Structure 1
């Protein structure tokens, strides 16, 4: 029996065809070796738990599609973080990982079916792993790749079996708990361009003790990954606009920029902004700032993991099992130097750093040669000595250095339990687990708004003639913001700001179950039914502690953060059954009913606010095998996702988001009386109509926020398919499954564009729900500015999501020349996405994101994607070739009719083909070496510009997490085992 498919629980001796259980799986890598029919004799087998069911019966198969990813395949692709491997499977899209920079929170996640990481449940040996943050996300970097035996992926709802979060599916990491001996593994990789180095080392030791009553395994691993900057690749060296590939950097430049037009300063390009030269004069806008070279295509990482697994036979019928996990993961992201980003500043017009020309331009805004009245109270034609002007000011601050975010996640988890026989055929299990993650975030080289404002208001001391601060408190240093290179080192140190936040997440789970045979057997069946019943109690809590500057919003570049103190407690009870209805009959080799139900009682606590609710989940389905070669399977499941700690506990928090079009920007409202009136009613000053600046580099300010009154999401998942294993073609397995996942009551953070569109195109009422979510910059009417400006995208139960498609898996293995030339194993696994529907609210349009990417469809979702592998094994040599295909992806504004293809230089990302080639050679019983080339043909990502889509996904002019930005990559490894 091929042990590689199942989580070992207990052993028994029985005779059964391994093919029966293999038929339940869609093997997503090269196929496993099946037991031939003539070998179906008395074998020592294991009772098994296939992911997607808690029932332990070797003759009953899983009826939800399960893909199995083997450790050997993961190793042959050179993977050091398993997230990198999972994002390439056709059932997933790229989540957060090493290629995400601006928006990376220091973790690595998996996103099944493009439904979001929060809807994918991550397990280790069938039990929840400790989250790394208050969103409930598991950092996959903390799971030791070298200890993984396989990964089982269930795509589709599994809440009736595992509880909340399993709407999109389950990823279950099975550890090598039966390892014996000593194994050391080392791997080094480097790109063809000499960067992106990765070093990975691990040691695993295992063996029996106490006269073979116990077994223990210990694994320790270390990974060191180096950074690759966007300046290291030609395609990402310069920031490009998506429309015409013109310089698409930031309006916040080192010259210092004032948002607005002034009659005495030419505006030849209609930039609606002016710059300063080095002498403090106002000049036409000098051009955007290229932020790309500072940003990363690959984030640096250092991690340590340590995992201990142990079992001990307390008696002949009772076994103790345990796992202790520790991980420390450090990730650093780097973005361009901070700036003032058009925050509102008060500028004194007697500032000695301003030239007379600049003062004249600022105070004679209509260009009539007379000082404007607001700056000349006594009407003497001279600017008042105490006159001030409020400006929306953007000054890039390279003098401070790059903005670095340093994330350190330290997690540990302890799992312990007992299992044994209650009676013949009945197995009991009780367990408890506790996990805690401390997440430290340091944000360095930002700027303090209060000190920048204080330092800007410089005056000339009437006694000494020195330039000093108007308010000298706190050791103020006057800052010359006006002109590139004019900020002194001392002034830069004064306004610089470092910030910190500490998050503590705890998880406690206690549970128990009974599983075994039902006390009934239908006359038409040769075996009795099986059941599993049990309970779980789970408590999760999070405390997020940002420093005072983050809380107050005094940080300009990193925004703000708010304290979170939230927890939830849930009691869950579940039952599951599989009942053979007919077996060994004509046209009914097997007909099995599969059903399950779970009830969960939640209580959420946020400060003094409590909210409780109860939800039910269930599944019903089964299988029909008319003949032994062919099995049909189907399942309907009601799955849920309860709101996580961040969603219930995050107060309203200023941040940044994405926006393509502001209807009030530029000339849009001019000549449109209705739109003009609405823009004015929502915060644009009448004099600013026609001159409001649009989003800066595709970004605006926003407000994030949770909601303690949120209710669970509910989904309906339907799968239907078949598995074909023809006896006439040994080694061939074909699995085809249709899936449909529909989610209602979706907890959604509205897309900023959706809020804006709803206000100006649908509601058209300043007092409407969505118009009330818009707070414009009081100085210039834009959606960029201080912490009082932005679009409120706080969470609501309002959205609808649906995805459906078809999965196909084909595996075929055969010997060459009766084995004299080795063996070939072929595998194909692919997905066709029929639709991926999303709608932020009932009255908004439903968007189909299949085959699209952009500001609405953030993560590219190719309609067709597949992996095809070929493995040739000849004696001690194994050669492995993987081909990954991604079909074309179109910009969503083009697909939705909001833009024409002619509006973009590159509106479509063409289909991509990637090939990876690797080989391993076993030198002797103790040593195996391996080497490989990833991205064999050095395919470069398609350049689309930086504002083609969302900030986190679309960076460096490309989509670096989806389309490899590193290029041809070599790795070398050695494994020694004793």
Structure 2
């Protein structure tokens, strides 16, 4: 029996045992023990009978009568197994998939702020070539839209005041008609405990078993009445810190694992014996992928390699540069079945001493004051401030062929006599590549200051509740990537000569009176003797600088809502909610490395005027001739400026109509509908709507269903983003003679920018399910809901590889993709590939959610069980019209930005409390998957495509000491990943890009300990 079947069978057995045993337990314990508080909250409703707003509807009612599936989780219960934070706990629930978090993000580049905890319901923020992160989940704070914390449109939920949260409502279906744009996947509403009185706090610290990823958290919250109970004040302050973790801190991440072709019989040496070419493409039936260790890229050696020369037949081309300036033959290592890769030898990869988890420090503070102006009108004002600080290593300074290499000319003092002698003319040169000779790694420092303030009035009249609010959100983000090659200075420093008047080594450009003042202070840099920061420290310091950008995002919003009962029908009141909202947003981003300033040949020639050796586009005959310059300001980090504004006007109405009540087979029958009209200044007017109903044939069973039409409008960054530079390995799908076909792996420069012509994404969602609350099994409830979501006009962009492939399939011209590729000639390598988002894709997903809750008395204590389970039936995507439909369900996606879509995911929590002692066990299940890279005409082939199921166990023990009247000290200790489960070995197809597993799905930290104390007075 497979583990998947074992898991499902265990659930069935467990349910049977509960069904048989619990009635007797319940009768016995009801007499023997006092009623226990809910160990785990109800699936759809709180224990209190008081009316609350459950996020599935704008109408005040409890969750059992809501047609939309809503998962309700108290923050207290979430913290029991995941003390690091509410968002981390939510991401263990199967409704969330491929979310971003500090441990699930790559840190190679610093072009975009994709850090923090960014929630991704249903995984609808993926798959995508758009790297900004999940954007189709609407985040609310106490029913009010949270303004983006980052200028790309994402929301880091770490900024919210966790100590003052009461619960989290998760609407797992389309909700745009009630709540507005972005609610395509659903809504996550963090509910504030507005009536909290007293003080509570937390102090904790943790570390993993191997001594890494140390973390601390400290916070306190206070609430009190004033003015005789007419007013109430809330205050909180929280601090958290994580030391992060390097990739080399995990043994499995230091072995150089990578997927390569398994068949080497089609691979042959080049004519000069310096490289290998394989005619069978890796990942095909003829050459399936296999995992191999110590995989390197053959294009150059880490310490330095001569990769070309202006002198035909130069004997030193292809040789490795030693630290003493001599050369030796390039060691091609062991052959593998991927062109341009090798096992062992002198190739290169991204080093292991980069961050797997970025060091992070968070601060936030929250305050709220409310006051009853009259018995029916309440005034409130609240504010939130948060600061997040990250620092991490980015990809090291490199001199990469085809994008950023070095030309070393004859007469350069750092050339050996032999090397210099092999160059004939005064302007002859070598092309040198270098990747990791020991030079310091650039470090990115990022900081986000976010604040939001809200004020409003709320009140009642007759049977209606109303509220009017104004809020302002402001985010300031800064990024400084320190220690990058500054290309203008780098190429000035690389062209070293001897000053004829002094005999000293100097920069050639300083001898040119026209440009000498511009390059005053230039110091030569030596890349012919290993680490340039050691051989020429002054030159390295001169050639490196800081790429910086500053972004500010602002949002102002005014909203007015009213809800209540219109009139009575025999089955009950007809309820209505109506409202209007106006939002205004603005984005401004400035940069000292804007690629648009070097967008033309003339601009690049002017910027690098007076310099020789600047990389230029390759021709079919001579490497690096006098073609177009193809480099920008800095190594990798070149962020475009951006500016834009938009405003949104919205109006909605929701109606709930009871039809039958307390009649045979119709204990309750009601319908619900909502409509919203939204006008975007950028894309026009759109309508969203939703209809639903509930039917309770008997008291113990509720049937429900909804159908909705939802949208997500493009955000300011998608519309107006300036050009962002990037780099990546692609297969150029053309032969050296210019014919298209076999191709070879090369690094290609890319530039991604916004598209002001984007239109809203459109989604249709339907759900139907049942809630079972048996009267004969007190304390048990269950819900089962099917969902089906289809998103059209999805905003996405083609990858660089897809653009090259589509152009190839069209014969090299005649399609729009070919216009996105810049080449010096039709047969040359791409000098630039432009990526632009467009409404080109569609996505469809369907599945079933299961939510089981049981609570009872056991002995003198209380037992609570909560099981969340999801079955993913379908997750299909098409990147553009005419492309193959990619099937993601059950797939672990093998890419540089991996994603995972297991068929089954589950989370079981067992909690037992007996007097002062408590024990909680959390079990997270990630079902089996198969390896693939969906989207091709045929599935990618792997020698072993199976990924086994993974279980993670968390254990928390706590002991409570009462203090005073209702207060207590709760001491706790948590072990996450109790059995130190290692992640499955799933490397990428480019050496060293990520730790060799699917970081979006699996835990890379291992067994980790947290201990602390929670206080409440």
TM-score by length of 2: 0.81
2:930 to 890, 901, 910: 890
1:192 to partner: Cα distance: 1.0
1:643 to 714, 718, 723: 714
| Aligned match of 1:23 | none
For structure 1, which segment, 59-68 or 868-877, has the greater mean C-alpha deviation from structure 2 after superposition? Answer: 59-68
For structure 1, which segment, 796-805 or 144-153, has the greater mean C-alpha deviation from structure 2 after superposition? Answer: 144-153
| Aligned match of 1:377 | none
| Aligned match of 2:66 | 62
1:780 to partner: Cα distance: 9.4
The structure-2 alpha-carbon separation of the partners of 1:598 and 1:340, relative to structure 1 and needing over 3 Å to count, comes to same
1:769 to 797, 816, 836: 816
The structure-2 alpha-carbon separation of the partners of 1:712 and 1:878, relative to structure 1 and needing over 3 Å to count, comes to same
For structure 1, which segment, 52-61 or 773-782, has the greater mean C-alpha deviation from structure 2 after superposition? Answer: 773-782
Give the secondary structure class of the aligned counterpart of 2:52. strand
Contact map agreement 1:332 1:404 (CA 8 A) in 2: yes
The structure-2 alpha-carbon separation of the partners of 1:896 and 1:88, relative to structure 1 and needing over 3 Å to count, comes to farther
Give the secondary structure class of the aligned counterpart of 1:474. coil
Alpha-carbon deviations, 1:296-330, whole Å to 9, x = none? 12211111110112221110010112321010111
The structure-2 alpha-carbon separation of the partners of 1:549 and 1:796, relative to structure 1 and needing over 3 Å to count, comes to closer
1:614 to partner: Cα distance: 0.5
1:87 to partner: Cα distance: 2.0
**Following superposition of structure 1 onto structure 2, how do residues 467-866 of structure 1 map, counting pairs within 5 Å?**
467-472=505-510, 473-486=519-532, 487-519=535-567, 521=569, 523=570, 525=571, 527-548=572-593, 554-604=632-682, 612-657=683-728, 659=730, 661-664=731-734, 669=735, 676-678=738-740, 693-695=744-746, 700-761=748-809, 763-776=810-823, 781-783=828-830, 789-816=831-858, 820-852=859-891, 853-855=893-895, 858-866=898-906
Give the secondary structure class of the aligned counterpart of 2:884. coil
| Aligned match of 1:93 | 97
Matches of 2:929 and 2:996 in 1, distance apart? 15
Alpha-carbon deviations, 1:44-92, whole Å to 9, x = none? 9533211121112459722111112221222212332433222221011
2:391 to 332, 354, 357: 332
Matches of 1:34 and 1:712 in 2, distance apart? 33
Matches of 2:39 and 2:819 in 1, distance apart? 55
Give the secondary structure class of the aligned counterpart of 2:848. strand
**Following superposition of structure 1 onto structure 2, how do residues 16-165 of structure 1 map, counting pairs within 5 Å?**
31-32=40-41, 45-58=49-62, 61-99=65-103, 100=105, 101-102=107-108, 105-116=114-125, 117-165=134-182
For structure 1, which segment, 650-659 or 763-772, has the greater mean C-alpha deviation from structure 2 after superposition? Answer: 650-659
Matches of 1:197 and 1:797 in 2, distance apart? 43
Contact map agreement 1:83 1:110 (CA 8 A) in 2: yes
1:235 to partner: Cα distance: 0.7
2:369 equivalent to 1:310: yes
The structure-2 alpha-carbon separation of the partners of 1:208 and 1:146, relative to structure 1 and needing over 3 Å to count, comes to same
Matches of 1:873 and 1:581 in 2, distance apart? 43
2:254 equivalent to 1:237: yes
Matches of 1:454 and 1:941 in 2, distance apart? 46
Matches of 2:323 and 2:64 in 1, distance apart? 78
Matches of 1:902 and 1:60 in 2, distance apart? 47
The structure-2 alpha-carbon separation of the partners of 1:463 and 1:59, relative to structure 1 and needing over 3 Å to count, comes to closer
1:913 to partner: Cα distance: 0.7
Unaligned 5+ segments in structure 1 are 1-28, 364-382, 605-611, 680-689, 784-788
Contact map agreement 1:259 1:780 (CA 8 A) in 2: no
Give the secondary structure class of the aligned counterpart of 1:815. strand
| Aligned match of 2:19 | none
For structure 1, which segment, 348-357 or 508-517, has the greater mean C-alpha deviation from structure 2 after superposition? Answer: 348-357
Alpha-carbon deviations, 1:463-515, whole Å to 9, x = none? 33322211123211111112313541111101011121111110110010111
Give the secondary structure class of the aligned counterpart of 1:84. helix
Contact map agreement 1:340 1:556 (CA 8 A) in 2: no
Matches of 2:934 and 2:842 in 1, distance apart? 22
Give the secondary structure class of the aligned counterpart of 2:793. strand
Matches of 1:897 and 1:677 in 2, distance apart? 22
The structure-2 alpha-carbon separation of the partners of 1:266 and 1:79, relative to structure 1 and needing over 3 Å to count, comes to farther
1:409 to 414, 430, 448: 448
Matches of 2:744 and 2:420 in 1, distance apart? 23
Alpha-carbon deviations, 1:237-281, whole Å to 9, x = none? 2432222424235556542234459986889xxxx9543223444
For structure 1, which segment, 751-760 or 300-309, has the greater mean C-alpha deviation from structure 2 after superposition? Answer: 751-760
Matches of 2:632 and 2:436 in 1, distance apart? 16
Alpha-carbon deviations, 1:123-150, whole Å to 9, x = none? 1101111212222211112123222221
The structure-2 alpha-carbon separation of the partners of 1:752 and 1:514, relative to structure 1 and needing over 3 Å to count, comes to same
Matches of 1:570 and 1:549 in 2, distance apart? 29
2:467 equivalent to 1:429: yes
The structure-2 alpha-carbon separation of the partners of 1:76 and 1:856, relative to structure 1 and needing over 3 Å to count, comes to same
Matches of 1:259 and 1:145 in 2, distance apart? 55
Contact map agreement 2:885 2:935 (CA 8 A) in 1: no
The structure-2 alpha-carbon separation of the partners of 1:308 and 1:777, relative to structure 1 and needing over 3 Å to count, comes to farther
The structure-2 alpha-carbon separation of the partners of 1:240 and 1:778, relative to structure 1 and needing over 3 Å to count, comes to farther
For structure 1, which segment, 613-622 or 822-831, has the greater mean C-alpha deviation from structure 2 after superposition? Answer: 822-831
Contact map agreement 1:157 1:168 (CA 8 A) in 2: yes
Contact map agreement 1:131 1:437 (CA 8 A) in 2: yes
Matches of 1:536 and 1:266 in 2, distance apart? 72
1:558 to partner: Cα distance: 3.1
2:419 to 329, 352, 358: 358
Matches of 2:478 and 2:709 in 1, distance apart? 37
For structure 1, which segment, 544-553 or 125-134, has the greater mean C-alpha deviation from structure 2 after superposition? Answer: 544-553
Matches of 1:143 and 1:620 in 2, distance apart? 32
The structure-2 alpha-carbon separation of the partners of 1:59 and 1:860, relative to structure 1 and needing over 3 Å to count, comes to closer
For structure 1, which segment, 220-229 or 283-292, has the greater mean C-alpha deviation from structure 2 after superposition? Answer: 283-292
Contact map agreement 2:138 2:182 (CA 8 A) in 1: yes
The structure-2 alpha-carbon separation of the partners of 1:263 and 1:901, relative to structure 1 and needing over 3 Å to count, comes to farther
Matches of 2:589 and 2:848 in 1, distance apart? 41
Matches of 1:450 and 1:485 in 2, distance apart? 20
Matches of 1:278 and 1:779 in 2, distance apart? 39
Contact map agreement 1:350 1:386 (CA 8 A) in 2: no
TM-score by length of 1: 0.84
Contact map agreement 1:81 1:140 (CA 8 A) in 2: no
| Aligned match of 2:612 | none
Unaligned 5+ segments in structure 2 are 1-37, 126-133, 261-290, 332-345, 511-518, 599-630
Matches of 1:132 and 1:249 in 2, distance apart? 39
1:841 to partner: Cα distance: 0.7
1:445 to partner: Cα distance: 1.1
1:354 to partner: Cα distance: 2.3
| Aligned match of 2:956 | 918
Matches of 1:417 and 1:328 in 2, distance apart? 25
Contact map agreement 2:303 2:436 (CA 8 A) in 1: no
Q: CA RMSD in A?
A: 2.8
2:330 equivalent to 1:285: yes
Contact map agreement 1:181 1:977 (CA 8 A) in 2: yes
Alpha-carbon deviations, 1:832-887, whole Å to 9, x = none? 11111111111111101112212398411111111011111111221110111111
